[in-house]
């Protein structure tokens, strides 16, 4: 779940290392409304039918790019950052057993300068994130995969890279990886409004950061 970068780490980084945007964190953490319940119910039924396991997500083009985070979620992204409807989340997240936990929906800030008003969800549920680059690498000698590589667009640009079309050679220049061939996934995560929603029933509410029924 934006789960692009663990949220607390990302918000801390935004506060101390990047230009502060007008809105970052959700402003509505209150009880779920009737219209939001309808959205969650329809969304969960659809995603559980189509993407119940991580393998299903991968078959549909979602790519894993994180390790398990502090909420027990492992994230997969499809690099489609403008969610057309509730059937098209930009990210899906699974537990360590490959069972669907939830999803992220996103709207590009470039197309929506204000918080999205979609699907009966209070606009205050959305969070805003700056653009950054993600990568996954593989150790050439052991085959071990390393997830969670990321950096801000500005830093990537300063090293001569193009964040919107990132290339592994920039990571080599920055000594993040020994060779370009060690990078198995690299992509740009643009500035977006992001909505995290639990598919797995959550006693704290579908939009809460953590779910007590999920143990990392």
| Whole-number pLDDT of residue 24 | 82
| Whole-number pLDDT of residue 6 | 45
| Whole-number pLDDT of residue 214 | 95
Q: Integer distance in angstroms from the first to the last C-alpha of the chain? A: 14
**Mean pLDDT, consecutive 10-residue segments, the chain of 216 residues?**
50 40 76 97 98 98 97 97 96 98 97 95 95 96 96 97 97 97 97 97 95 93
Q: Residue 116 contacts by C-beta under 8 Å, 6 or more apart in sequence?
A: 107, 123, 126, 193, 195
How many whole angstroms separate alpha carbon 56 and alpha carbon 62? 9
Beta strands in the chain (DSSP E): 63-64, 74-77, 91-94, 100-108, 127-129, 132-138, 145-152, 183-189, 192-198
Structure tokens at 163: 């964040």
| Whole-number pLDDT of residue 2 | 57
How is the chain split into domains, by residue range? Answer: 1-129+191-208, 132-189
| Whole-number pLDDT of residue 8 | 43
Rounded to two decimals, the pTM is 0.89
């Amino acid at each position: 779940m934006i789960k692009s970068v663990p949220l607390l780490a990302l918000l801390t980084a935004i506060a101390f290392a990047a230009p502060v945007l007008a809105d970052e964190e959700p402003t509505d953490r209150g009880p779920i409304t009737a219209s939001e319940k309808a959205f969650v119910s329809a969304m969960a039924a659809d995603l559980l039918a189509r993407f119940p396991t991580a393998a299903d997500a991968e078959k549909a083009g979602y790519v894993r790019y994180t390790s398990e985070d502090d909420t027990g979620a492992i994230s997969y992204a499809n690099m489609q950052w403008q969610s057309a409807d509730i059937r098209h989340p930009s990210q899906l997240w699974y537990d360590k057993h490959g069972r669907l936990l939830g999803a992220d929906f996103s709207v590009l800030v470039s197309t929506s300068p204000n918080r999205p008003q979609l699907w009966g969800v209070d606009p205050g549920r959305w969070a805003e994130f700056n653009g950054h680059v993600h990568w996954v690498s593989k150790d050439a000698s052991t085959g071990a995969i390393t997830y969670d590589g990321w950096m801000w667009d500005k830093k990537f640009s300063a090293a001569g890279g193009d964040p919107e079309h990132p290339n592994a050679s920039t990571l080599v220049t920055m000594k993040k990886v020994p060779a370009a061939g060690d990078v198995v996934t690299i992509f740009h995560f643009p500035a977006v409004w992001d909505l995290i929603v639990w598919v797995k029933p959550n006693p704290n509410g579908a939009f809460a950061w953590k779910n007590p029924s999920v143990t990392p």
